[in-house]
Amino acid sequence: MKSVDVPWSRFLMPPLHEEGPRFLAVFAALALVLYLLTGWPGGLIGLVGTVWCFFFFRDPVRYVPTRPGLMISPASGVVQMIGEMAPPPELGLGDTAVTRVSVFMSVFDCHVNRIPCAGEIRSVVYKPGRFVNATLDKASEDNERNGLRIALPDGREYGVVQIAGLIARRIRCDVHEGQTCQTGDRFGLIRFGSRLDIYLPPGTNPLVVLGQVCVSGETVLADLTADEPAREGKAL
């Protein structure tokens, strides 16, 4: 039997995304100001906010499944919606409905986004919009978003869309058209609180269920090499 020692630092002091330090500095400065103005009550509130900021921008190590054909979750959060939906027109994936899996990230989830399955970035399209609650279905059409169209090695394509939410005001995308990415590669971040929609290749069934908690870079969303039906599940 194989085993591995897991250091506590992996959970208590995970690495930070590169955007984290400057926000952490702002929160720490505000905590100090609150302490100087109000004493411990305000200082404690500022400290809690600083700790939250640290964990919001955490970028922990992920153990990405490497078997060919597996699509992993690009975000950490809850599977909020699964259904048939045509991809956004700007992605150029056609108007035929495919399976869409929506993962909602709360302000307490890790917000670093990862590539679901290895392939070539065929297009990156940013579209300005509103900032309605990302839990609403209309957010996929009305909200500010950034979409990726990714071609798999076998020629099939799929889409990933970063959607800004009620609090989120900035979408960051670090990949470009023509770039080849591997499964689990980091490709962006949204702050603060948002949603990712994954448009699976035609004929692909999801292996997650509504309400399931996903871990970015680790949870398997679908298997492109399998023909098993979509999974069903319930909360117990």
Note the pLDDT of residue 170: 79
CA distances from 212 to 67, 89, 189 (A): 22, 28, 21
The single residue of 73, 76, 123, 194 carrying the catalytic annotation is: 194
Across the chain, which has 236 residues, the per-10-residue mean pLDDT values are 60 73 87 86 88 82 90 94 92 92 89 94 86 56 85 94 75 91 92 86 92 94 87 76
CB 201 within 8 A of CB 224: yes
Cβ partners under 8 Å of residue 230, min gap 6: 82, 99, 205, 206, 207
Note the pLDDT of residue 38: 86
CB 105 within 8 A of CB 195: yes
Q: Spell 27-55 as b/e; 16+ CB within 10 A means b.
A: bbebbeebbeeeeeebbeebbebbeebbb
Residue whose C-alpha is closest to residue 172's, from 236, 112, 87, 84: 112
Cα separation, 215 vs 224, in Å, equals 19
DSSP H or E stretch at residue 92:
none
What are the residue ranges of helices labelled H in 57-101? none
Residue whose C-alpha is closest to residue 71's, from 160, 173, 167, 177: 160
Residue whose C-alpha is closest to residue 82's, from 236, 206, 213, 217: 206
Question: Is the domain defined by 70-223 classed in CATH 3.40.50?
Answer: no
Note the pLDDT of residue 52: 82
Cα 49 from chain centroid? 22
- Known active-site residue 194: yes
- Give the largest Cα separation in the chain, rounded: 63
Note the pLDDT of residue 9: 61
Q: Spell 173-204 as b/e; 16+ CB within 10 A means b.
A: bebeeebebebbbbbbbbbbbbbbbbbbbeeb
Give the strand pairing for 194-199 and 157-164: antiparallel
Tokens of 108: 């307490």
Note the pLDDT of residue 54: 84
